[in-house]
Amino acid sequence: MESSASGANTSDANAIDVLAFSQEADVVAADPVAFLDRICAVYGLDYATYASIMPDGQIIGYTNYPEEWVKYYVENEFHTIDPVIQTAAKSIVPVNWRAISDDYTDSLVFQKAREYGIGSAGFSIPVRGPYGEFAVFSVTKDCSDEEWAELTTASIRDFQSIAVYMHDSVLRGHGLFKLLNKKPLSRRETEVLQWYARGKTQNDISVLTGLRPSTVTAYLQSARTKLNALSTAHAAARAISMGAILSD
Amino acid sequence: MIYVIDALNYHKAPTLLDEMHKLRARVFKDRLDWEVTVRNGRERDYFDDLNPVYLLHVDNDGKVLATLRLLPTTGPHMLSDTFPQLMDEEEPIRAATIWESSRFCVDTDILVGGDGPRGIGRVTGELLCGAYTFGQQVGLTHFTSAFDVIMHRVLRRAGAKPDLVGEKKMVGKVFALAGLFEISPETISDIRARCAVEGPVLASPTALLTAEARASDGAIGTSGAERALEIA
């Protein structure tokens, strides 16, 4: 059973594994909204949204927000004035909606969102893509600030990984980027993933390779990113099907 | 105190950021004579155009004592674009929770030796603590960085303990290495103990304006005038 980097509590490690286990490969591309529903279920959220802005201005968005809100948002072209999108376009740092609400007190988007039942507690993770595109993954829950602070602190590492994973999945499924060049695994990533595929634990791999456990974790994270997998099990499966590692 | 300045706040700290670029020129060009581009006394490269996060150690007079820059490894960064040879010519480590630290420097001209409040050791430790604490806040698991053998010693002594990845290679005039730094409460405690870092190190976002005002006051009469001419 893989473990997260030290410092994360057990429920972090289990949450993202539960999320990954319930997904088949490429289900994000097949049914992104179902994936968002699953994220909300696993992490105790109300709604989740993914939106990417391509270099040509085209917007790709998926959300499980209530239909009436989505309709209102689209009809009023709120994406042009949404503080969440504006901040994600500028900054690479995850944004707590509370933190920007002071700078955007007049925001019609925030005001209307509340009218449609969207809580004011929310978090947005910006993603910078390889083609000059950017994306934002947002989560929200109608709850107190204290509860929200606890939830986000416990899950922010997972949200970071999910944001990048979702972006890469959506890109791969999108017509424009079918030719996305697959970044090869490095020698060490291949080595570590191969041991994982042979059933070794993080500690086993540490001993076998002479790398520190946290470095083993880093290489597995990197392998997951390059293979666009949410769990290491998926990463291993992808690597085997690509012939990058051997099945045993 | 350590100030975290990201693209949303650049406009709130123009003097501080300008002083940072000047400090980088003094360290990387004047002192170390590395192959960096300096224009008008400021060092700036392509990565500064990618909206990095800057961490600045600023004293009560608004002087920038130390700085570093952070970029996500999922995008362009120095280990992928500038020094790929340090990771064995292969694809560098990339993950949402792993960011790269670069342009780490300390103003050794105005700081003294030792662990006192104006000591190089203390200031280095505070900057590192600020980076690790910020990293925890935004959900990071590791930092990567390229550094030379001297910096490697400094980091180890301060408690950062990088795991070396790839091979030592000549980059320009120095031997450089790539390292992976685990972000954990244990590392932060270790750095605090070794560098005599006490209390919170990260300044609150609202304190940035005060620091900028102090820096701006300090700059007037020296570089303030030349900056004003530049802007005009």
Of A91, A187, A215, which is closest to B180 when you measure between CB atoms? A215
**A21, A234 in Cβ contact below 8 A?**
no
- Tens digits of per-residue pLDDT, B204-223? 989 999 999 999 998 765 55
Closest CA to B146 of B64, B76, B80: B80
The model carries a pTM of 0.90
User: Strands A121-128 and A95-96: what pairing?
Assistant: antiparallel
**B121, B189 in Cβ contact below 8 A?**
no
Q: Do A163 and B53 touch (CB under 8 A)?
A: no
User: Residues of chain B whose C-beta is under 8 A from some C-beta in A?
Assistant: 4, 6-8, 50-53, 71-75, 87-88, 90-98, 136-142, 163, 165, 180, 182-186, 205
Cα separation values, B135 from A127, A128, B49, B125, B213, Å = 16, 18, 21, 15, 27
Looking at residue A11, its pLDDT comes to: 38
Looking at residue A8, its pLDDT comes to: 35
Tokens found for residue B95: 């993950």
Cα separation values, A153 from A81, A146, B55, B77, B136, Å = 28, 11, 21, 27, 9
**A176, A136 in Cβ contact below 8 A?**
no
- How many beta carbons lie within 10 A of that of residue B214, not counting itself? 18
Q: Do A225 and B94 touch (CB under 8 A)?
A: yes
d(CA A169, CA B142): 23
Helix ranges (H only) for A97-144 are 97-101, 108-115
Q: Do B97 and A185 touch (CB under 8 A)?
A: no
| Count of residues making up chain B | 232
Of B87, B98, B185, which is closest to A221 when you measure between CB atoms? B98
Is pLDDT at A13 greater than 70 in this prediction?
Answer: no
Nearest chain B CA: its distance from A7 CA (Å): 6
Task: Provide CB contacts within 8 A for A86, sequence distance 6+.
Answer: none
Q: Do A160 and B140 touch (CB under 8 A)?
A: yes
Q: Do A160 and B52 touch (CB under 8 A)?
A: no
- Secondary element (H or E) of residue A147: helix A145-173
| Inter-chain contacts counted by CB atoms under 8 A, chains A and B | 126
Nearest chain A residue (CA) to B205: A99
- Tens digits of per-residue pLDDT, A55-80? 777 888 999 999 999 999 999 999 88
- Tens digits of per-residue pLDDT, B134-181? 999 999 999 999 999 999 999 999 999 899 988 889 988 889 999 999
The distance in angstroms from the start CA to the end CA of chain B is 32
Looking at residue A10, its pLDDT comes to: 36
- Tens digits of per-residue pLDDT, A141-190? 999 999 999 999 999 999 999 999 999 888 877 765 555 556 679 999 99
Phi/psi for A55 (5° steps) reads: -55, -30
**B102, B69 in Cβ contact below 8 A?**
yes
Of B71, B94, B139, which is closest to A156 when you measure between CB atoms? B139
Q: What is the dihedral of CA B139, B142, B146, B151, to 10 degrees?
A: 100
* Interface mutation vs chain B, best among A222, A227, A231, most B CBs within 10 Å: A222
Residues A81, A84, A85: CA angle, nearest 5 degrees: 65
Nearest chain A residue (CA) to B52: A92
Q: Do A163 and B98 touch (CB under 8 A)?
A: no
Long-range contacts of A38-43 (CB under 8 A, 24+ apart): A39/A139, A39/A162, A40/A64, A40/A139, A42/A15, A42/A18, A43/A15, A43/A139, A43/A151, A43/A155, A43/A158
Looking at residue B232, its pLDDT comes to: 45
Ramachandran quadrant class, B89 (left: phi over 0; alpha: psi -120 to 50; beta: rest): left
Is pLDDT at B227 greater than 70 in this prediction?
Answer: no
Q: Do A7 and B185 touch (CB under 8 A)?
A: yes
Closest CA to A130 of A174, A94, A177: A177
Looking at residue A178, its pLDDT comes to: 53
Q: Who has greater pLDDT, A90 or A180?
A: A90
Residue corresponding to tokens 């959900």: B139
Tokens found for residue B40: 């008008």
Q: Percentage of residues in chain B with pLDDT exceeding 70? A: 93
Closest CA to A151 of A140, A164, A166: A140
Q: What is the dihedral of CA A202, A208, A209, A210, to 10 degrees?
A: 90
**A79, A59 in Cβ contact below 8 A?**
yes
Residues A169, A170, A173: CA angle, nearest 5 degrees: 90
Closest CA to B220 of B59, B18, B73, B71: B18
